[in-house]
Amino acid sequence: MIPVLGVEGARVAVLGLGRSGLSAARALQAGGAVPLCWDDNPEARDRAQAEGFDVADLSRPGAFDEVASLIVSPGIPHLYPAPNKVVAAALHAGVPVDNDIGLFFRSLAVPEWDNYDTAPRVIAVTGSNGKSTTSALIHHVLSEAGREAQLAGNIGRGVLDIDPPGDGGVVVLELSSYQTELARALTPDVAVFTNLSPDHLDRHGGLGGYFAAKRRLFAEGGPDRAVIGVDEDEGQFLAGQLAEAPGDDRVIRISVAAKLSGPGWAVFARKGFLSEYRKGRQAGSIDLRGIKGLPGAHNHQNACCAYAACRTLGLAPKVIERGFASFGGLPHRSQLIAEKAGVAFVNDSKATNVDSALKALQAFQNIRWICGGLEKEGGLAGLAPGLQNVVKAYVIGREAAQFAMQLDEVETQVCTTMAAAVDAAMAEAQAGDTVLLAPAAASFDQYDSFERRGEDFMAEVQARL
């Protein structure tokens, strides 16, 4: 646990008692604060009370009298589309609002670090797609290289639940836009921006607000190194804002769309080969084509980001390459779950938006595509470049018929349920085909989470093999 610093004797309100909220309450208490906990869910309140925390209705009049600050869980809106009533009450009372990420960054460094040979480092990863895989890949490479490393944030453990890092330890954080937007302290040593595509637009008041939330990770804390995907205009802009000159190697540019040249530091992947260039000369390379845990151009972008982050810590290219080779991938992200009679079965349930689904479609050939769910705003037109790889689409979800109508470039079958879709796809699949779950939609019309949807797909496939 990372005890929160600077809160001794203070009354600190905690709104939302899921994983991050409860871990924040524990860390606040460990730092000498008095947490006042609230959640609209009675079961969550019961869990907090069972741990001995004070539960107080933060929506009642006067709830913020003598409260020093409010800590908010990521899923609770604080501005758009409308502030949660408790957040609004705190702001009206002049009470500062923060989250567990802000508490972490202000509490991580302690006097004991003065006795370390190498101060601990924090690598923070954000972006629209690929941040989970990039974060996990960095952590895996470091661990395989014998470095002390912990994975936390939007993946793995809550940031305040981790152990205090030791001499030379590295903390790898995956951070969503919800987390970066609200944190009052953001001071990573290395910050990574994978890419940007429209997502969570209602929560951020549009694409500009969404990008601004991501940008805070770089603008607020001033990382020593910034790894920036430059295949979108926003990434180009961000890299340009951070660099003092073309050869400024504090900014490492990443691409899977073009060969990067110039006097600076760049890592790019073309035709399955990763290349590192510094001051116009090649400094390293990796053949990514045979690495099963990193299929497709989108995973090659993740590999470039992870490679660059690890290089900033002094790891040699060959050491990073060995880590890549043993990386098995993450569940529900281009996860190869089975192969039979020449047919591959791939679970990419995490492809909850059009951009991530497109990347999955471009990673495979002869696809029997299971798609559909709770469609996000913007429509499905962005999938067009990947549809040439689709043999047939099998559409699930409550609005499967409407979803299918937008896929007029491919043959479709309205299946509605996962069981029916897997049945149809497996009955028609031939050697060389890939049965791919890449929904291009949220799961909440039929499932509690994208994980549950992916688990259902895997269970249906395994039951028929």
Q: Which residues sit in the known binding site for ATP?
A: 127-133
Question: Residue 341 is encoded by which pair of tokens?
Answer: 């009679």
Q: Which residues sit in the known binding site?
A: 127-133
Question: Residue 203 is encoded by which pair of tokens?
Answer: 């929560």
**CA 296 to chain CA mean position, Å:** 18
Distance CA 341, CA 430 (A): 8
Please report, in tens digits, the pLDDT of each residue of the chain (465 residues total). Answer: 999 999 999 999 999 999 899 999 999 999 999 999 999 999 999 999 999 999 999 999 999 999 999 999 998 999 999 999 999 999 999 999 999 999 999 999 999 999 999 999 999 999 998 999 999 999 999 999 999 999 999 887 899 999 999 999 999 999 999 999 999 999 999 999 999 988 788 899 999 999 999 999 999 878 999 999 999 999 999 999 999 999 999 999 999 999 998 899 999 999 999 999 999 999 999 999 989 889 888 899 999 999 999 999 999 999 999 999 999 888 898 888 999 999 999 999 999 989 889 999 999 999 999 999 999 878 999 999 999 999 999 999 999 999 999 999 999 999 999 999 999 999 999 999 999 999 999 999 999 899 999 999 999 999 999
Question: Residue 90 is encoded by which pair of tokens?
Answer: 């705190």
Give me the phi and psi of 258, to 5 degrees please: -155, 155
CA dist 279 to 261, 263, 265, 303, 350, Å?
Answer: 9, 4, 7, 21, 37
Nearest Cα to 288, choosing from 277, 278, 276, 279? Answer: 276
CA dist 60 to 38, 56, 66, 85, 89, Å?
Answer: 11, 9, 14, 10, 9
List of domains in the chain:
11-98 (3.40.50.720), 109-325 (3.40.1190.10), 335-464 (3.90.190.20)
pTM score, whole prediction: 0.87
String of b and e for 158-178 (b: at least 16 CB within 10 Å)? bbbbbebbeeebbbbbbbbbb
